[in-house]
Amino acid sequence: MTITRFCIMRHGETDWNAEKRLQGQIDISLNTVGQAQAMAIRAHLKKAPAFAAVYSSDLARAWHTAKIATADLGLAVSPAPSFRERHYGTHQGLTSAEAAHAYPAMYHLHQARDLHYTYDTGESLAAFAARIQNGLSTLAEQHRGQAVLIFTHGGVLDIIYRLATQRPLDTPRDFPIPNAGLNWLAHDTSPSAHLWQIITWGDQAHLTVALDELA
């Protein structure tokens, strides 16, 4: 069996998500909506296929989502720093408007998705993508033929989508990455296969009940 299935989920909503404020590696907690989304994931996972392992970014918003969502699975959540959000250096904590005002030249590089721009004290897009690809390859090898559950961040999922679709890193994003969205991918190591395939992307059907309860 050469196919490994990955269910990769973005963390639940935070106040900074709602404000469209760049979080990066700053630790921000889930808000009320985010906690409800994590509970909705928990209900959905009760009906999902069995997982061999659960991994999560060690940043609080992903880790707390994972702990709530997997409470009924009987599996420990393993910390996976490889799936942390990108470090955005000087831009962390800022909205797009604030970043454009404070660092106009740097913001231009951010918008252009410059591969080597590090935000002075952060992580380049090229280095970030390499980190994610290495982390996925490691898990695909460790769990060949199994199903794996990962909780992570929007920037990480941006890289994963591009890896699976062979889309360049420096092109604008034209695909959704919703909080607590359901993303299934398959990894095939057979010589004749395309390595990654998207099965489901950005599915939010499991969130309907949770969001209705908050309305």
Give me the pLDDT at residue 195, please.
85
* Residue among 90, 81, 85, 95 nearest 17 (CA): 95
Give me the pLDDT at residue 158, please.
98
Query: Which of 13, 44, 64, 85 does the annotation list as catalytic?
Result: 85
11 is annotated as an active-site residue:
yes
Give me the pLDDT at residue 175, please.
96
Beta bridge partners of 203: 182
Amino acid present at 64: H
What burial letters (b/e) apply to 7-31, b meaning 16+ CB within 10 Å? bbbbbbbbebbeeebbbbbbebebb
Question: How high is the mean pLDDT in each 10-residue block of the chain (215 residues)?
Answer: 90 98 97 96 92 98 98 97 97 96 93 95 98 95 95 98 96 96 90 80 86 56
Give me the pLDDT at residue 2, please.
82
Number of domain units in the chain = 1
Give me the pLDDT at residue 189, please.
74
13 is annotated as an active-site residue:
no
Residues sharing a CB contact under 8 Å with residue 163, sequence separation 6 or more, in sequence order: 129, 132, 133, 136, 196
Give me the pLDDT at residue 48, please.
87
H or E stretch covering 14: none
Query: What is the domain extent for residue 75?
Result: 3-214
In whole angstroms, give the CA distance from residue 122 to residue 198. Answer: 30
CATH, residue 67: 3.40.50.1240
